[in-house]
Every structure is written in C-alpha cells, then in structure tokens.
Amino acid sequence: MGEAVGVSATFSILFLGTGTSTGVPLIWCGCEVCRSADPRDGRWRSAALVSLGDRALLLDAGPDFRAQCLRWGVARVDAAFITHLHADHVFGFDDIRRFNTMQGNAVIPCYAGPETLAGMRRVFPYISRRRDAQGLYRPLIDFVAVGGAFEALGARLTPLPVVHGDVETNGVRIDFGGRSLAYLPDVHEIPEGTLALMGGLDLLVLNLLRPREHPTHLSFARAVAYARAVGARRTRFTHLSHDVTHARLEALLAAEEASFAPAYDGLRVDLVK
C-alpha cells in the first residue's frame, strides 16, 4: 500500500530531454534546427522525471543526465525505470549515486525488463546494493526485473512491451491517484496486447522521430496514427530528431488534433489540475 498522499498530491512529468540518440544540435551540424535560436529546439537525450506526491521516479538516464539534473533542478530520485539498453537511455546512470548520498545512502530500486537488467549489470558491474568496504563511490541500486504490473512509490506501474529493433524495450504506464500517463520514447511498433493496456490515459508521451520512415522509430504519420488509436486526453511527442523545428512540428501536430503537441526540454505537464 502507498502512503497517504493527500488530496493535492502532485502527479506531473518533467521532460529532462526530448531528443533522439544524437541529441540536438548534432555535433558540427549547420541545419536550421541545429542553429535555431528557439530554446525548444535544443534537445537533450530523452528522459523524464515523474513526481508522485513528494517522491520522484526517473525514466531513463542517458549521457545528459547530470546536466539535466543541474539544469532542471532535480532534487531527488526515489526509483528508476529503464526502458531499454541503448546508450542514449543508460549511459548517465552512474550519476544516480549522488541521490543515494543526498537521501541518506538509501538504496534506489531500478526497474526494467529482464534482458535490459542483465545488460545493466554488464555495463555497470560495480553497481551494488551495498556500500563498498574500501569506500569506492558507486551507486547503491536494487535491480528489480519486471514483467507485469507492479507497485512502486504509491503508484501502479505497468511495463508496455514494444518493438524497437531487436533490443527488449518497454514503455511504462503509471497510474497514480486516479490519473494515468504512458511514456514510450523508443518505438517502431506497438503490439495489440500493449495497446490493450493503454486505455483511458490522461497523457500519452510517444516517440516521433522525424517526418520520414525509420526502421526502429515512429515517423510522423505512424506516431499520429498510434496516438489517435490510443486516444489519450493529451499526447506529447518526444525523442525528436533535427529534421523539424519545434514551431513547425507544433503547427503540423495541431492540424492533426488539438490535443497533440511536441514536448520540449524542461516542459512540465501536471496531471492533477
């Protein structure tokens, strides 16, 4: 059972980053988006922080994680969910140790699918549940393999298996205080069984890479079609490339559905309002 969180409990998502694996701007790219003066066209690698009452759930920790924490003022991380083992989603994970320290050396649970967790153990073999006897400063993590729905931080989390190339990949549905969101940053195909887990959402956060097709990510047309099929009250698109400016994408999406918009770094969406 979760603790009492009160009638005004926070349930929000803060977009730490909304870019594809390269980040935007790309290194040494002179395109319109990479040179844009609009801060919404700067896209760190995709990750998010979900506030659940006074606690926080981290969704992925890519190479920009430390900079994101500093830029957006991340004050705590009580648990993490890792969608899949691609560099742009896990290579900042070591910096989570700062939150162990700030939270009295509390062990932080990290949830992911079994293959993803096996990969995390390979990439970070020194991560442990216990403090190091020689005083080495390393993350204190309880790796927890998940398949079906489970409870964490007073919320119900449901892994959402999706097709994203040949790597095990999950989105996640989060139900808290009668509201719900789903976060799927890397997707090419959403199986029927997963779509069936996505009913009645207040917010859908969905991959939209670029206008043209891609073998492991959703193009504009495919993302819009899935978002319509899911029918969430609001949809925000993430994991964006440098192909379209925020302003242009915003106009294109608004022409499809009034409830569709691109996310951008630093955007916070409150679900309790």
Q: What is the binding site for Zn ion (CB under 5 A)?
A: 21, 26, 29, 31, 34, 86, 88, 186, 242
Give the shortest CB-65-to-Zn ion separation in angstroms: 13
Nearer to Zn ion by Cβ, of 55 and 242: the residue is 242
Give the integer Cα–Cα distance in Å for 94 and 96.
5
Nearer to Zn ion by Cβ, of 26 and 252: the residue is 26
Nearer to Zn ion by Cβ, of 34 and 59: the residue is 34
Nearer to Zn ion by Cβ, of 107 and 123: the residue is 123
Nearer to Zn ion by Cβ, of 113 and 177: the residue is 113
Nearer to Zn ion by Cβ, of 140 and 206: the residue is 206
Give the shortest CB-164-to-Zn ion separation in angstroms: 6
Give the shortest CB-35-to-Zn ion separation in angstroms: 8
Give the shortest CB-89-to-Zn ion separation in angstroms: 6
Give the shortest CB-239-to-Zn ion separation in angstroms: 6
- Name the strands in the sheet holding 55-59, side by side, starting at the edge strand that comes first in the sequence: 141-145, 108-112, 79-81, 55-59, 47-52, 11-17, 268-270
Give the shortest CB-109-to-Zn ion separation in angstroms: 22
